[in-house]
Each structure stands twice: as C-alpha cells, then as structure tokens.
A and B are shown apart, each in its own frame.
Chain A
C-alpha cells in the first residue's frame, strides 16, 4: 500500500465572463498540470466554468479565527463609510 501523500489543491472557478474566480472545493494531484486536469474533470462536469485556478492548499495563509474580533470588529463602527449615513433630501433624487 502506498504511504506517500498526494498533495491537496484548492480549486477556483470563473463561472461566467466578468466574474471573479470562486473557491469550489479541493482535490488531490501529484503536480499542477494533473491538478488542473482533475479540476476540469471533477468540478466542471455541468458547464460550471470558463476558467480554472488550482492552488496548492499549503500555499494559502489564513487569518486566525481567534483574531476575528481584532481584525474585523473595528470596522463595524465606521458607519460613515456607508452611503446611507448621509442625509440627502428626496427632492434631490437618486445620488
């Protein structure tokens, strides 16, 4: 039985022209070429995509979930960044 580990890849698909690539899942492949082929065969069997990215899973650096408050909470109070913060009379029309 083989004990060697075939690397894991993350798959991203652009589903329509103009849209960004979006993460759809993972797969195992020995190298990038095989990973791209496998991504096509596994994740685009129903016309899901126009373009594919594969990224080695271990190349992703993720934020630490315990940092969530520190990283993302402070923006919640910056309501002046949102258009609805500002009063514009209805007569002015859409702005």
Chain B
C-alpha cells in the first residue's frame, strides 16, 4: 500500500465530504456553487490518490473509502473538524490550502508516483487558496460579528496546524514552514486577524488517532455501502 497516497487521499476525501455537507445550505447561492466546486475537486483528487494507493494490493477506490474503519484513516485532524459556521469552514480551507498548494507544486516536480496527480491538484488548490483567502479577508475585516467569528475559528483550528508539516513517509517532501507562514501571515494581516499562539498542538491523525468527529462522519458516509456487502452501485 502506498501510505503516502493513502493519507493524502484521506485528507482530500474527508475535507471534500465536509464541504459537500454545505450543499443546499450555504450563505448565498453563489457560495453554494463555489463550495461544491471545491468539494468536487477534492473528491476527484481522492479518487485518483486511492486508485494509486490501492494499485499494488488490488484495492479499488471504494474499498479504501468505504470499508476501512476510523483507526485505518490517516487524514489530518484539521480536515475532520466539523463545518461549524461559514468562518470555521473558510478558515479550515484556508489553513489547509496554504499548505497543500505549495506541497502539490513541489511534489509535482519530483519523480514521485504522486507527481501526475499533484500537477492537476496544484491548479485546483491554487484556486481553493485564493477563494478561501478572499473570504477570510472579508470576514476578518467585515463587521464586528464576522471579525469575532473569524478570530474564534482561527483560534479553534490553530492547534491542528502543526500536523500539516509532518512528512507522512520518509520519501515524502515537506513544505518549509516559512512558505506557509508567509502566505498565512499576509492574509491574516489583511484580514485584521491575530495569529493565535496556543500552548499546545494536537497530532494523531496520521496514526489513526482521531477526534471523535471522524467516526460519525464515516458512519454516515459508509452506512449504505456497508449495509449491502458486495453490491454494485
């Protein structure tokens, strides 16, 4: 099993799934379509990455998405955080995209088996980053209420950001923290938001130690598939 592809696939699927929960419920129609576009990009990335991950062992994308338990998922804790309000969703997307965008571009330039997938994903993540950054700036520098919500979201999610920088396998690449810092600090400054400085950081997603939210997400996502073993859909 390609553990690197699997973990990146899990990130994309879980975040794509979270965004898909917004469909029909976003703050405006235009934004409903935008969030669905991002979700579709992420689900598409997950499918390619699962196919790569399972190639050696003969597992297809649906086997990997639907028939593994919580402990077998190796996604970041950040991406499994519940949607919360629009500020939480946008902040989560921004923090993740600010890492994964340079990541895809870097790995696309290597000989990694992920390179072809990364080349396509990089175009998508570049837009996700811009979209989330533009919104975060507006929420941060909008009204008093939106500022408060954006700052709260940032404070809540920040303890899950260190995990972004952990290489998944010895042959994985790591985006330098300064790259991420430069992007994030510039947007936070424009958004008039304060960079949090929490006392601790949470890790564990890459080892299958998740927050309690993931189990519920998987229970919902996998329920139909699992209730009909062997069926074709």
A binds B: yes
Counting chain A residues whose Cβ lies within 8 A of the other chain, the interface size class is: 10 to 19
A6-B28, A28-B28 given; A41·B34 CB < 8 A = yes
State A51–B191 Cα separation when bound (angstroms). Answer: 28
Q: List 28 A-B contacts (CB under 8 A).
A: A6-B28, A27-B30, A28-B28, A28-B29, A28-B30, A29-B30, A30-B138, A33-B134, A34-B30, A34-B134, A34-B138, A37-B34, A37-B130, A37-B131, A37-B134, A38-B30, A38-B31, A38-B33, A38-B34, A40-B127, A41-B30, A41-B33, A41-B34, A41-B37, A42-B30, A42-B33, A45-B33, A45-B37
Q: Mark B127-138, 1 if CB is under 8 A from A, else 0.
A: 100110010001
State A6–B30 Cα separation when bound (angstroms). Answer: 11
Counting chain B residues whose Cβ lies within 8 A of the other chain, the interface size class is: 10 to 19
Interfacial residues of chain B within 5-32, with CB under 8 A of chain A in the complex: 28-31
Q: Which residue of A lies closest to B137 (CB)?
A: A33
State A28–B30 Cα separation when bound (angstroms). Answer: 7
State A28–B28 Cα separation when bound (angstroms). Answer: 9
Using Cβ atoms and an 8 Å threshold, which residues of chain B touch A28? 28-30
State A28–B31 Cα separation when bound (angstroms). Answer: 10
Q: Which residue of A lies closest to B40 (CB)?
A: A45
State A40–B138 Cα separation when bound (angstroms). Answer: 19
Q: Which residue of B lies closest to A27 (CB)?
A: B30
State A27–B138 Cα separation when bound (angstroms). Answer: 19
Interfacial residues of chain A within 34-91, with CB under 8 A of chain B in the complex: 34, 37-38, 40-42, 45
Q: Which residue of B lies closest to A40 (CB)?
A: B127
State A30–B142 Cα separation when bound (angstroms). Answer: 11
Using Cβ atoms and an 8 Å threshold, which residues of chain B touch A30? 138
